[in-house]
Structure 1
Amino acid sequence: MEIIMSVAIGLMFMAAVYLILSKSLIRIIIGTSLLSHAAHLLFLTMGGLGGIAPPVVAEGVTVADYADPLPQALILTAIVIAFAVTSFFLVLAYRAYQELGTDNMEQLRGTEDYE
C-alpha cells in the first residue's frame, strides 16, 4: 500500500509543480493547494498506514496494533491552516482581478514584454 501511496504522492507533487510554474494566478493557487495536500499524504504515509485499533491504549491491545495519533493530529492542524491560506489567496486573487482585470502574472508584475 505504501508503494501505491508513494506513486500517488509523486504524481501530486509533479502536477503541483507544473501548476505553480504557470502564468495564471488561479493555477498557481490550485498548485499550492495541491502541493499542501501531497505533503499531508506524504506525512501520513511516513507515519505508517498500518494499524487496526483506534489510537487508544487499552487492555489486550499491543503497541503494534493501534494507529499512531501524532501524524493524524498534525495533519488535521495542517489541513485547517492550508484551507485558511488557500482562502486568503483566493480572496487576494479575486481582488487583484477586480483592480487590474487580469490574472496573468506577467501583467501583474508590470513588465512590458508579456504576450
Structure 2
Amino acid sequence: MTLALAVTIGALFAFGTFLLLRDDLVKVVWGLAIFSQAANVYLVTMGGVVEGTTDSVPVLADHHEPFPATTDPVVQALVLTAIVISFGMTAFALALSYRAYEENETMNVTEWDR
C-alpha cells in the first residue's frame, strides 16, 4: 500500500509540474490544482497509521490508548482546510484566466501583447 501511495503522489506531482510548464493558461491552472492535491495526498499519507505498529498519536497519548491504531486528526483537519483554500484559489485563478482571455483574446501566454 505504501508503494502504491508513493507512486500515486509522484505521478500527481509530475503531472502537475508538466501542466504548470505549458503555454495554455487553463492548463497552468489545472497544473496548480493537481499540484496542491498531490501535496494534500502526501500530507494524509504521512499522517496515517504505520503498518505493524501500535503507537498512539500524540493527541491521544495521555488517554490510556483506547484506539492504538488511530491516525492523527490534526493532519486531517489541516488537509481539509487546504482543500477549501485550494478550491478558492483555483476559482480565483480561473476568473483571472477569463479576464486575461478577454484582454488578450487568446489563452496562449506566448502570444500575449506585452
Conservation of the 8 A alpha-carbon contact between 1:16 and 1:35: yes
String of CA shifts for 1:68-96, please: whole Å, max 9, x gaps. Answer: 10110000010111111100000010111
* Corresponding residue for residue 40 of structure 1: 40
* Corresponding residue for residue 113 of structure 1: none
**Residues 77, 101 of structure 1: alpha-carbon distance in 2 compared, 3 angstrom cutoff:** same
Q: Does 1:96 align with 2:103?
A: no
Equivalent residues in 2 for 1:63-74, closer than 5 Å: 64-74=68-78
**Residues 59, 19 of structure 1: alpha-carbon distance in 2 compared, 3 angstrom cutoff:** same
Conservation of the 8 A alpha-carbon contact between 1:16 and 1:31: yes
TM-score by length of 2: 0.82
Conservation of the 8 A alpha-carbon contact between 2:49 and 2:70: no
**Residues 72, 109 of structure 1: alpha-carbon distance in 2 compared, 3 angstrom cutoff:** farther
Q: CA deviation at 1:99?
A: 1.8
Equivalent residues in 2 for 1:1-115, closer than 5 Å: 1-49=1-49, 61-62=66-67, 64-108=68-112, 110=114
Percentage of matched positions with identical amino acids: 38
**Residues 60, 71 of structure 1: alpha-carbon distance in 2 compared, 3 angstrom cutoff:** closer
* SS state at 1:18 partner: helix
Q: Distance in 2 between matches of 1:8 and 1:70?
A: 23
Q: Distance in 1 between matches of 2:73 and 2:113?
A: 44
